[in-house]
Structure 1
């Protein structure tokens, strides 16, 4: 099994959910940071290096959560066929 898949499998659901709800949304006021950065990206205003870093930092927990969900569903589907 490839190293990235082993790493993803080693992350537990509670850890990924907590990371997404804390780091993924912090700071919470006036709006979640990830939401602010996504709006900037959609408007074409995401140009400063610190803003790009913020998007990556606050987006990583959500991407890992999504990847684990896809991996879990894919593994379940492959198990049903075999």
Structure 2
């Protein structure tokens, strides 16, 4: 996973804050989609795409942190 080494941690954190949590009001979009997933109402393709789009920065962050732990 050397592609993770190309991204700096501050850049990934910025992506989590801006893309992952946008829009901020009334609640973060990723949080809304996760609640829909738990409730079983995440069925529309657009909602599934939204979850993948807004959740991707958090997945990259987790992968980056794990890679940093394994290397260091």
**Fold agreement, TM-score > 0.5:** yes
For structure 2, the 5+ residue unaligned runs are: none
Higher radius of gyration, 1 or 2: 1
Q: How many pairs were matched up?
A: 72
Superposed, which structure 2 residues align to 1:2-81 within 5 Å? 5-76=1-72
Relative contact order higher in (CA < 8 Å, ≥ 6 apart): 2
Q: Structure 2: how far apart are the matches of 1:26 and 1:48?
A: 20
Q: For residues 3 and 28 of structure 2, what CA distance do their matches in structure 1 show?
A: 27
Deviation per CA, 1:39-58: give whole Å up to 9, x if none: 00011111000000000000
